[in-house]
Amino acid sequence: MALAFNRQATKRHDPMNPRKSNTLLIVMVIYALYTLVPLVWLLFSSTKTQAGLFSSFGLWFSDDFAFFDNLAATFSYRDGIFLRWLGNTLLYVVVGAGGATLLATMAGYGLAKYRFPGRRAVFAVVLGAVAVPGTALAVPTFLLFSELGLTNTPWAVIIPSLISPFGLYLIWVFATESVPTELLEAARIDGAGEFRTFFTISMRLLAPGIVTVALFTVVATWNNYFLPLIMLSDPDWYPLTVGLNQWSNQAIGAGSQPIYNLVIMGSLLTIIPIVIAFLLLQRFWQSGLTAGSVKQ
Amino acid sequence: MTTDFTATLGSTGIRRREKRDWKGWAFVGPFMVVFALVFLTPLAYAMYLSFFQEKLIGGTAFVGLDNYVRALTDSQFWEAFGRVLIFLVIQVPIMLVLALGAALALDSARLRGASFFRILIFLPYAVPAVVAVLMWGYIYGDQFGLTANFNDFLGFDALTPFAKEWMLVSIGNIVTWEFVGYNMLIFYSSLKTIPTDMYEAASLDGAGAWRTIFSIKIPSVRGALVIASIFSIIGSFQLFNEPNILRPLAPNVITTYFTPNMYAYNLSFAGQQFNYAATIAIIMGIITAVIAYVVQLRGSKTEVR
């Protein structure tokens, strides 16, 4: 046994920088293709007319190039409802995800850096609640919000988006590791208030964690479907996800008016901003997550 | 008592000389207020609802555990439950093995272009579930999807993703596509925290690549595996978006009670049976919490070894 392993080890000179493996590369390329196929299909399909969709191979262009026609049609369909949905989504993301990030950052920091009565109860309640399926709460939340007159308003989507237990956990771990208690005490001796210290000193130290939480809450609110589906009945308040699904369903049933080309272009437009955000902020969220997993 | 829990929570590296006062609530308070509104109140309300029934005559009446008894003998509920259980037992292991394999490959230093693959495999997580399902739904379709192209090429219907016997596989494929990258990132982050001198020591001891994987890397990511499993179990039991968005494409296969969550949704929004829907939601919540708890217990028990 040991001999066999020894022989293997002598083949590799540096354990930290071994020879690159072609087999591994091929396996990963195959997986990468699986990941890419639907997205490539979407890209090609966005250049086709409805007739072209039916008459051409999915992973190549059709005879006519209708990308810009589709783009224009998506924005002008039904007096530009797509633009309205985009605006709604942005509203839900900015207020919902922004608020969620702020609340989670403050709470995670508070749990990491302060001793206060009920701290343990906060932990137990928040972590325990994570195990309760979020969608299981959807029906009672809907009933509750309709009693309060909040359904069919943006608040019905924004308020539930404000809570991110995962964000709280991540910031708690992050604050414990990266905000030295000595620094806070020094600020206190200098006479700085707790909030002033938080906003001027601690938040800067927490920045990579905050970007990570922000990115994940942005994805969660941008992609949110179930909550707005049950809360909203007026298409004027729909986010992109619910609106796109409504467009897609238009192709079904008697007297249907399929607008496949618009659904496909709309899908593409829905993906692009979030993908760009991820690519641009890569460095931040990857370091933020690594720090977050130290605790595991 | 006080020292007891300072000791447990104090393992987070906080100095004990910190003052114990109410200031922390200024930071935690806002979160907890919203949390109470969107988590605790609906939960309590759902429990309250589950003990009542709307009667045709006399309005709402307290019925004790009647709704629970009804659910436990409801064949539609159990059919839905069985379906997500099968889904859970097959899809989750496949997804987690793929994710772990990808994470190990990215971490192995033997892969060319690792950072490119990392971002590419993670990419589907950023795609909204609605868009993912619409894309795959069209691809599955027999009109202009890749499935249709493939079947035309072969000359017969080799692939039938919307057939009754393939539907769960088709949904499983979408969910796997969406979430391998996310789980991969959890594992990858965890692998990155293994100190490099562990590898050097293993290499000096003559351990090869596979030996290092099974003796060092996989045991080290056990915590991450437990967390990923729990998230995936919760996700499977909550399965809703994918079947609900696919439903118009295959209305005869995807019933209104295809998953427990769809059942609860349709009971309340199509059937106005809010009390019974709340009962279903609570039963699913309890089952999920119990299974998540057991997984966590088993996960940490084997960790001690």
The pLDDT value recorded for residue A4 is 45
Indicate if the pLDDT at residue B143 is higher than 80: no
B109 Cβ partners below 8 Å, 6+ apart? A16, A17, A18
Mean pLDDT confidence for B70-95: 95
| Share above pLDDT 70 across residues of chain B, in percent, rounded to a whole number | 91
| Residue with token string 């986010």 | A239
Instruction: Assign A131 to helix, strand or coil.
Output: coil
Structure-derived torsion over alpha carbons of residues A186, A190, A193, A194, reported in degrees to the nearest 10: 0
* Ordered alpha helix ranges (H), A206-259: 207-222, 226-231, 240-249
In-domain check, residue B8: no
The pLDDT value recorded for residue B246 is 93
Residues from chain A contacting residue B202 (CB–CB below 8 Å): 15
What domain range is B34 assigned to? 18-50
State whether A192 and A240 are in the same domain: yes
State whether A101 and A124 are in the same domain: yes
- Contact status, residue A222 vs residue A278, Cβ threshold 8 Å: no
The residue that leads in pLDDT, B13 or B156, is B156
Last residue of a domain, one of A11, A36, A65: A65
Tell me: the pLDDT tens digits for B118-134? 889 999 998 999 999 99
Indicate if the pLDDT at residue A180 is higher than 80: yes
Give the other-Cβ count within 10 Å of B114's Cβ: 17
- Among A32-46, A211-225, B225-239, B264-278, the range of highest mean pLDDT: A32-46
- Contact status, residue A244 vs residue A34, Cβ threshold 8 Å: no
State whether B84 and B216 are in the same domain: yes
Tell me: the pLDDT tens digits for A187-207? 888 888 889 899 988 999 898
State whether B28 and B131 are in the same domain: no
In-domain check, residue A262: yes
State whether A205 and A261 are in the same domain: yes
In-domain check, residue B277: yes
Number of domains in chain B: 2
In-domain check, residue A205: yes
Choose among B81, B177, B163: nearest CA to B129: B177
Residues from chain A contacting residue B14 (CB–CB below 8 Å): 112-113, 115, 176, 181
**Beta pairing, strands B52-55 & B59-62:** antiparallel
In-domain check, residue A116: yes
The residue that leads in pLDDT, B231 or B79, is B79
Indicate if the pLDDT at residue B305 is higher than 60: no
Least confident residue range of A131-135, B24-28, B106-110, B210-214: A131-135
State whether A141 and A270 are in the same domain: yes
CB contact under 8 A, B102 and A28: yes
In-domain check, residue B57: no
- Which residue of B24, B42, B120 is in closest CB contact with A119? B24
Query: Does the CB of B274 have a partner CB in chain A at under 8 Å?
Result: yes
State whether A83 and A56 are in the same domain: no
State whether A161 and A133 are in the same domain: yes
The pLDDT value recorded for residue A2 is 44
State whether B86 and B41 are in the same domain: no
- Label residue B6 by pLDDT band (50, 70, 90): very low
State whether A53 and A87 are in the same domain: no
In-domain check, residue B9: no
CB contact under 8 A, A133 and B234: yes
Average pLDDT, chain B: 85
In-domain check, residue A137: yes
State whether B29 and B77 are in the same domain: no
Indicate if the pLDDT at residue B102 is higher than 90: yes
Indicate if the pLDDT at residue A6 is higher than 50: no
Helices and strands counted in chain A (H then E): 18, 0
State whether B126 and B229 are in the same domain: yes
Indicate if the pLDDT at residue A237 is higher than 70: yes
| Residue with token string 């979407």 | A42
Indicate if the pLDDT at residue A52 is higher than 80: yes
State whether B33 and B147 are in the same domain: no
Q: What is the CATH number of the domain that holds B179?
A: 1.10.3720.10
CA distance B148 to chain A (A): 9
State whether A286 and A149 are in the same domain: yes
Indicate if the pLDDT at residue A151 is higher than 60: yes
A residues 31..50 contacting B (CB < 8 A) = 31-32, 34-39, 41-42, 45
How far CA A187 is from CA of A174, A197, B28, in Å, comes to 20, 7, 20
Least confident residue range of A121-135, A172-186, A241-255, B57-71: A121-135
In-domain check, residue B157: yes
State whether B244 and B196 are in the same domain: yes
In-domain check, residue B13: no
Instruction: Assign B73 to helix, strand or coil.
Output: coil
State whether A125 and A247 are in the same domain: yes
CA distance A86 to chain B (A): 14
- Label residue A16 by pLDDT band (50, 70, 90): low
For chain B, the first-to-last Cα distance in angstroms comes to 29
Tell me: the pLDDT tens digits for B204-222? 888 888 888 888 898 888 8
State whether B225 and B199 are in the same domain: yes
Number of domains in chain A: 2
Query: Does the CB of B60 have a partner CB in chain A at under 8 Å?
Result: no
State whether A57 and A82 are in the same domain: no
- Label residue A233 by pLDDT band (50, 70, 90): very high
State whether B37 and B114 are in the same domain: no
A residues 55..74 contacting B (CB < 8 A) = 57-59
- Contact status, residue A92 vs residue A219, Cβ threshold 8 Å: no
B residues 131..190 contacting A (CB < 8 A) = 131-132, 134-139, 143-146, 149, 177, 181, 185-186, 189-190
In-domain check, residue A210: yes
Tell me: the pLDDT tens digits for A84-141? 999 999 999 999 999 999 999 999 999 999 989 999 899 888 877 776 666 668 888 9
Q: What is the CATH number of the domain that holds A110?
A: 1.10.3720.10
In-domain check, residue A1: no
B234 Cβ partners below 8 Å, 6+ apart? A131, A133, B288, B292
State whether A194 and A227 are in the same domain: yes
- Label residue A3 by pLDDT band (50, 70, 90): very low
pTM of the model: 0.87
How far CA A9 is from CA of A18, A281, B217, in Å, comes to 11, 39, 18
Indicate if the pLDDT at residue A288 is higher than 70: no
In-domain check, residue A13: no
Q: What angle do CA A250, A255, A257 make, to 5 degrees?
A: 40
State whether B91 and B215 are in the same domain: yes
What domain range is A53 assigned to? 20-65
- Contact status, residue A285 vs residue A212, Cβ threshold 8 Å: yes
Query: Does the CB of B14 have a partner CB in chain A at under 8 Å?
Result: yes
In-domain check, residue B289: yes
State whether B85 and B192 are in the same domain: yes
Choose among B218, B268, B279, B260: nearest CA to B96: B218
The pLDDT value recorded for residue B301 is 61
Indicate if the pLDDT at residue B200 is higher than 70: yes
Token output for B165: 């016997």
* Interatomic CA distance for residues B257 and B295, integer angstroms: 27
Half-sphere exposure of A74 (CA within 13 A, CB side): 28
DSSP A20: P
Choose among B127, B167, B188, B131: nearest CA to B254: B167
State whether B132 and B35 are in the same domain: no
Indicate if the pLDDT at residue B5 is higher than 50: no
State whether A59 and A105 are in the same domain: no
In-domain check, residue B209: yes
The pLDDT value recorded for residue B279 is 92
Helices and strands counted in chain B (H then E): 16, 2
In-domain check, residue A9: no
When scoring B23, B121, B138 by the number of chain A Cβ atoms within 10 A, the one with the most, hence best to mutate, is: B138
